[in-house]
Amino acid sequence: MRSVRRMRTSEYEDSSPWNGEGGQDHVDTEERDNVPSGCFIEIVLTSFSETHPQLQACSERTESHRTPAEIYFLSCYKVKFGVNGGKDTPHPDTSKSEGAPKRPSRSSDPKAGRCSYTFIVPQQKLKGVLCVSTETMRANGSETADLRAQLNNQQEQLERLRVRVEQDGALASEVRILRKESSITNARITQLYAQLLHEIINKQEQAVEQRRLEELLLNTTLQVLQISNSYRELEKKYEALTSLVNNQSQLMTQLEGWCQVSTITKPQQVDQSSVVQKESVEPKHEVRNIQRDQSASLQQKQTVQEFHGLLAMATDLPTDMPFISFPATKSPGPWKDCQHVLDSGESISGIYLLRPQNSNQLFQAWCDQNRAQGGWTVIQRRLDGSVNFFRNWDQYKQGFGNLDGEYWLGLENLYWLISQASYKLRVHMEDWQGRQVFAEYDSFYIEPESDWYRLRLGSYQGTAGDSLSWHSNKAFTTLDRDKDAYSGNCAHYQKGGWWYHMCAHSNLNGVWYRGGHYRSRYQDGVYWAEFHGGSYSLKKVTMMIKPIKPTEVLVK
């Protein structure tokens, strides 16, 4: 009975007849709890059927369409009110007015059963048909199993969904992380792109600046070349003027010499007149004076002829000799070579005027009368590095330098010297410790310019070692005339002019380095390979020639 009441209370809380709304609940709680379930439903429905005729629809249905709850409801209804639905039963209001008899106990009227109580409930209006069944549905095993299976399936689905949600959540967090990293990467790429643009702009600006500097460098180089050309022209003019001054000084020296000779002949003419007056007194002296007069006249004629010849040679002197010459040491000459000077009684080393036989070449040279019995014509000398020997072909041909210092005599002058006799070559060398050595070759000759002044050497003797025979039969090479056997230009690497082979065992016209051993990209020093090697630059070098005498013995 309590379960039914709770159901009614939960489902019909607002319309329940037991909630006591409006103060109309006259049902005793104790009596209500003791009412059988069937009578409780019957009384309730009786009150509802009187107030709501719509409940008659439940009884009017056919039995085939009635639900078990409707059958139970109608059975209780007929038991209380009869088949007619309560026509024989007096109205509750009538019974109340006449005085309600005492309720007999349940044990005194067994036939009455469950319907011995009458309750008065408030009348409420309900809309629609209400069919109530208090019979609970019995549980079915198969349905329960199906429900449990469905529940298990739903739980499994929920578990799978939970796992997927977790996976999707991890994936979503990973996606969020990747998106964050992507945004960071994009920001970094944008920054790098901006830096790249900045670098490109800087590179372009640097390229423009570099092109401007290159143009400036080219212009500067062009100006340097123009200045260099102007300097060369000025140098040539200076050398020509120097040569002209030297020639003038030589001519003046010669004229002074001939003037001294003419002053000597005048007293001889005075003596001739006195001899004529004393002819009868001293006949023997007369003969001597005549002879003297004749010899004086002959000497005067010879002097005049030589003077005219000297003037002719002076007019033929070249004006482009790049020498800084000095006055002759003693008598003016000219001599064939320095051996001729020595044979003429001039034993002092110095500058002498030379003119080889069968040649109009007139030039000055230093004569060494002290070494190896004297008579040596110096053709090359290195002392202090004051003269640059990295010259072109024409300069090596004509000669250059200072006669009392470093100089090169000139290939053309050298050719005319050694063409008049057989000559030998002596190379004197000194290192930075004061040690002196020499190399001597018993034959020395060079071919004319048509054969590029090719070198011809004889046998070697000396203390320095032979570093020149390897260059024999080789043409002379300069920076602008490459005649060596090397694929490149040896003069470019050795920084001089020489009879290069491939390239050099000796390089006496190279760069003069101070101190001996030097550091350079190439072996371009003044070296003699057999004496200290190619990386040692000698302190002093002298190349000199002398005509060969059959009875001459080599002096060490």
Torsion of CA 376, 380, 384, 389, to 10 degrees: 170
What is the pLDDT at residue 271?
A: 47
pLDDT in tens, 281-299: 343 333 333 333 334 444 4
Nearest 5°: the CA angle 183, 186, 190 is 140
What is the pLDDT at residue 171?
A: 82
Lowest mean pLDDT among 308-312, 341-345, 415-419, 519-523: 308-312
Lowest mean pLDDT among 18-22, 225-229, 427-431: 18-22
What is the pLDDT at residue 67?
A: 54
Residue 355 and residue 337: Cα distance in Å, rounded?
7
What is the pLDDT at residue 228?
A: 84
pLDDT in tens, 2-44: 333 333 333 334 444 444 444 444 444 444 444 444 444 444 4
Confidence tier at 357 by pLDDT (50, 70, 90): confident
Tally of residues, the chain: 556
Is the pLDDT assigned to residue 315 strictly greater than 50? no
Q: Which residues of 343-356 are buried (b: 16+ CB within 10 A; e: fewer)?
A: eeebeebbbbbbbb
Confidence tier at 258 by pLDDT (50, 70, 90): confident
Confidence tier at 118 by pLDDT (50, 70, 90): low
State in Å, rounded, how far the first CA of the chain is from the last one: 160
Lowest mean pLDDT among 71-80, 174-183, 419-428: 71-80
Taking CA atoms, 188 is separated from 175, 177, 193, 411, in Å, by 19, 16, 8, 76
CB within 8 Å of 415: residues ≥ 6 apart? 446, 447, 448, 449, 453
Q: Can you read off the two tokens belonging to residue 110?
A: 């067994």
How many CB atoms are closer than 10 A to CB 255?
A: 15
pLDDT > 70: percent of the chain:
60
Helices (runs of H) and strands (runs of E) counted in the chain? 12, 13
pLDDT > 90: percent of the chain:
38
Q: DSSP assignment, residue 439?
A: E
Residue 541 and residue 380: Cα distance in Å, rounded?
8
How many CB atoms are closer than 10 A to CB 336?
A: 19
CB within 8 Å of 362: residues ≥ 6 apart? 313, 316, 317, 334, 353, 354, 355
Q: How much is the average pLDDT of 250-272?
A: 63
- Average pLDDT for the chain: 73
Q: Which backbone phi and psi does 179 adopt, to 5 degrees?
A: -65, -40
- Point out which residues pair with 455 in neighbouring strands: 446
